[in-house]
Structure 1
Amino acid sequence: MAKKLKFTPAGNSPFFVTLRERVDAYFTEQALSPYANRSMWGKACFFLGGYIGLYALIISNQFSTPAMLGMSLLLGIFAACIGFNVSHDAVHGAFSSRPWVNRLLGNSFYLLGASPYVWKITHNVVHHTYTNIPGHDEDIEVAPGLVRLNPDDPKYPWHRYQHIYTIPLYAFASLSWVFRKDFVKFFKSKIGQHKNAVHSRGEYVNLFVGKTLYYLAFLVVPCLVLDLTVWQVLAGFVLMHLTEGLVLGLVFQLAHVVEGTEFPMPDDSGMMSESWAIHQLHTTANFAPDSSLAAFICGGLNRQIEHHLFPKVCHIHYPAITVIVKDTAREFGLPYLENRSFASALYSHYRMLQHFGQQ
């Protein structure tokens, strides 16, 4: 049975105190804000503009069916990139010092057919607090019973083949998010061990109105204005979400389920053996840290260590503070996990799927 968790007090280890002082000193000495700069606003405009532009081109009904399918595929990629680069930072409060700006940009999650409110609970509160802890972090419970992503999950005979079928299965993550996941999470009394029973009336309205508007925009309107059959519209919609789901699924899994990451459990009293910050170093990994393309597309999620330690710092600053985090971790004899490329991280994830399937 899952227990109420407590981390070892941070005061027992000077690591995070030292690290925060050094990161704060960097922003002070460089006279920089930890929030979005011009480059960050440029990225946001690029992905939001590209998404709106692609949708408008499709709805214009001026293109052939194959061309519209191609644009649907691109629309899925842009949707994932909005999630990485705009919604994610904004919901963490890292985009702007003005809360209303973060709320406005956080609502870009609705463009993905997702609820920013549910995301804030499942990601900001649960995942960031209880990273990789079985029974608490539901991000390591992908298709329970079908996919085994941690050593505490029950093992079934078909898991020996999960390294073959799991990665293609990630493509369905976005469709599940749009039609199922948000509703399931919203109405669960607990997410992990986080009590989730009480929501305001406004959040009920936001959930159902947001979903309805999305279904209207991407299913009803195309059927009304395009010279396509219902099945062709559905094919474009599914292709968009399969692309979006694969991109989303891979980026998030390559940060926590790769070789070297741990899945620690509390002791009998519910106490974790490390402080929260050191726990993040044991359970999180970066990938492709030197790739400008990965940084541009993934919105800093290829540098998950920095993100987990400093979620309220805009990801545009992660490359600069990476040196500080890495050097401080090594100074205190702590792990700093990274895969040098996307391909090596993907292979490491594949090997972890094999490991948990054959364990």
Structure 2
Amino acid sequence: MSAQLKFVNKNKSAFFPTVRKRVDAYFAEQALSPHANGAMWAKASFFLIGYMSLYGLILSNQFGLWAMLGLAMLLGMFAAFIGFNVSHDALHGAFSSRRWVNRMLGNSFYLLGANPYVWTITHNVVHHTYTNIPGHDEDIEVAPGLVRLDAQEALHPWHRYQHWYTFPLYALASLSWVFRKDYVKFFKKQIGQHDNSTHPRREYVRLFFSKACYYFFFLVLPMLVLDITWWQLLIGFVVMHLVEGLVLGLVFQLAHAVEGTTFPQPDESGTVQNAWAIHQLETTANFAPRSRTAAFFCGGLNRQIEHHLFPKVCHIHYPAITAIVKNTAQEFGLPYLENHSFGSALVSHFRLLQKLGRPV
């Protein structure tokens, strides 16, 4: 079990109370709700309807093999976009002020083959609290032993090539989620600081029932209605998840594992000598912050700094509060990390992997 970890605001920084007050004032002055607006509902509808339409087109049996493979790739992308744009906000309680609406939309996570209950524990509870802290934030453990993101971790000969082989590993993330990760995390006794030894009985039922439904709709039903062989179905299923996994993996890593972000170690007493909010600034980076395309498809996760500081604010509002957060960080002399484009963030991630794959 990990040592109990705590943050200590040793410099008594007033950054977070100040930026929170200013963001709250923005919503009050503009008479806006921090939850979803009409544009957000339209975007959520676009991705959900698009996903259902692509699935229906594949099952229509009206297309050739290559066309169906292309539709499967698009379906994988739309699954990732639903995760970013619908499930993520809802599971954070950011989509609506009504809990039942968030719960309903959070269930869209099942469309990815993933479990929203397990995600809430590993992401909301653990990752958002102990961001980038080795041994606590399991979200940065891409492939323990294979990928080295912690300078304190043992260096092996194969790490010299990790900047090449890590990207294909990201593509496997979704398949792992569907067949392995949720089960492993659900039955793990401890996840970071979280005691994971007990779960409500209904969550056991939901885990196995939802997985069975996903396997039926994506493996059994297509085999029954499509004029394809089992191996052709398997190729389509795997390709769909490789695309989905690559999109999901890259967006996450470009926000937390680029040059400039830190991977702090607590001291012997299990204390991080830093305020939690400043820790978020030091371990998180934005990418393509002025790109409307990135904001639309990534669900605002290109502005991860704003998301980590205000996870209960719907991402549709991140462009408006970005200037507030950035100016306040600069006012307090704090870092505000950003890569100006998706490409520059990708290169930065590549260089970090390269650096950590070699001796200092």
* Interval of TM-score (by shorter of Structure 1 and Structure 2): over 0.9
Partner of 1:221: 221
Aligned residues: 359
1:10/1:276 contact within 8 Å kept = no
CA-CA distance at 1:267 after TM superposition: 1.4
Partner of 2:146: 146
Q: Secondary structure of 1:266's match?
A: coil
Over 3 Å counting, the alpha-carbon distance change for 1:301 and 1:14 in structure 2 is same
Q: Which moved more, 1:187-196 or 1:295-304?
A: 187-196
Counterpart mapping for 1:57-206 below 5 A? 57-206=57-206
1:135/1:193 contact within 8 Å kept = no
Amino acid at match of 1:332: F
Whether 2:289 is the aligned partner of 1:315: answer no
CA-CA distance at 1:192 after TM superposition: 2.0
The unaligned stretches of length 5 or more in structure 1 are none
CA distance in 2 between partners of 1:169 and 1:143 (Å):
8
CA-CA distance at 1:193 after TM superposition: 3.0
CA distance in 2 between partners of 1:28 and 1:298 (Å):
27
Amino acid at match of 1:72: A
Amino acid at match of 1:224: L
CA distance in 2 between partners of 1:143 and 1:152 (Å):
16
CA distance in 2 between partners of 1:113 and 1:126 (Å):
21
| Deviations 1:278-304 (CA, angstroms, capped at 9, x unpaired) | 100000000000101000000010000
Amino acid at match of 2:118: V
Q: Secondary structure of 2:7's match?
A: coil
Partner of 1:243: 243
Q: Which moved more, 1:92-101 or 1:154-163?
A: 154-163
CA-CA distance at 1:152 after TM superposition: 2.6
Amino acid at match of 2:204: Y
CA distance in 2 between partners of 1:10 and 1:123 (Å):
26
Q: Secondary structure of 1:286's match?
A: strand
Amino acid at match of 2:25: A
CA distance in 2 between partners of 1:139 and 1:181 (Å):
11
CA distance in 1 between partners of 2:327 and 2:274 (Å):
20
1:140/1:150 contact within 8 Å kept = no
Partner of 1:4: 4
| Deviations 1:2-38 (CA, angstroms, capped at 9, x unpaired) | 4211111499211100000000000000000000000
TM-score (norm 1): 0.99
CA distance in 1 between partners of 2:278 and 2:153 (Å):
24
Partner of 1:259: 259
Amino acid at match of 1:154: A
Q: Secondary structure of 1:49's match?
A: helix
TM-score (norm 2): 0.98
The unaligned stretches of length 5 or more in structure 2 are none
Partner of 1:288: 288
Amino acid at match of 1:244: E
Partner of 2:41: 41
Over 3 Å counting, the alpha-carbon distance change for 1:69 and 1:218 in structure 2 is same
CA distance in 1 between partners of 2:102 and 2:151 (Å):
37
CA distance in 1 between partners of 2:157 and 2:2 (Å):
25
Say what the alpha-carbon RMSD is for the aligned residues.
Answer: 1.0
Q: Which moved more, 1:149-158 or 1:107-116?
A: 149-158
CA-CA distance at 1:169 after TM superposition: 1.3
Partner of 1:348: 348
